[in-house]
A = this chain, B = another copy of it.
Amino acid sequence: MNRLFHVPLSPFCRKVRLSLAEKKIEVELVEEKYWEADPDFMRRNPAGKVPVLKLDGKMMSESTAICEYLEEANPSPTLMPRGIQERYEMRRIVAWFDDKFHHEVTSKLLYERVNKKMMGQGYPDSKNIKMGAKAIKYHLDYMGWILDQRRWLAGDMMTLADFAAAAHLSCLDYISDVDWNRNATVKDWYAKIKSRPAFRSILADQVSGFPPPAHYADLDF
């Protein structure tokens, strides 16, 4: 049985979940409290992080390496453009979200509000919350600027770049930290991606102690 060891509100796990679902690869989702560093889990992934994918008996870690593998092993439906310039742009945007956006926004909002409490590390730091709330505006504007020129983030087709961005934004939307009224183009993009069958499992997520707002799973938000 294929398994994904994950936590529901991890953008890196969600990016892999979206890739798996889009490619119709079925996996059993197993929640893993990776911060407890259970010895069995550490054997599966010495990096001690989620996601960890058990696929055809093999253990895999590092979300982008997994997604590149899924694409190479299951090229249809594809999540990567054909042209090498477009592929570069896709990888640049994936890195933008997983590195810069993660550092400036996700870690400042989601980790302060949710992860700290789950891991028993105390209360949110209001300075970080303020920084994250300020930075997300700039990122939404940047996305809007890109999406005014292209149908999807990396070009004419939906790619892993859209999944990386949607993975972060959907986690933040779960805690009501995305102002969808800021940019109509970004909202339209999210509505398109949210309505895909691959997104269903993510919209059904429920984290104990953190009920999602009503608009979270609403396709007409």
Chain A contacts to B: CB under 8 angstroms: 46-47, 49, 58, 60-62, 64-66, 68-69, 72-73, 84-85, 87-88, 91-92, 94-96, 99-100, 142
Copies in the complex: 2
Q: How far is A66 from B88 in the complex, measured between Cα atoms in Å?
A: 7
CB-nearest residue of chain B relative to A71? B84
B-side contacts of A64, CB under 8 Å:
91, 95
The answer on a CB contact under 8 Å between A60 and B92 is yes
The answer on a CB contact under 8 Å between A72 and B91 is no
If A69-B84, A84-B72 touch, does A62 touch B92 (CB 8 Å cutoff)?
Answer: yes
8 additional contacts, CB 8 Å, given A47-B100, A60-B92, A62-B92? Answer: A46-B142, A60-B88, A61-B92, A62-B91, A65-B95, A68-B88, A69-B87, A72-B84
B-side contacts of A46, CB under 8 Å:
142
CB distance from A66 to the nearest CB of B (A): 8
B-side contacts of A47, CB under 8 Å:
96, 100
Q: How far is A88 from B69 in the complex, measured between Cα atoms in Å?
A: 6
Q: How far is A47 from B73 in the complex, measured between Cα atoms in Å?
A: 32
Q: How far is A213 from B78 in the complex, measured between Cα atoms in Å?
A: 49
If A47-B100, A100-B47 touch, does A92 touch B65 (CB 8 Å cutoff)?
Answer: yes
The answer on a CB contact under 8 Å between A65 and B91 is yes
Q: How far is A95 from B96 in the complex, measured between Cα atoms in Å?
A: 15
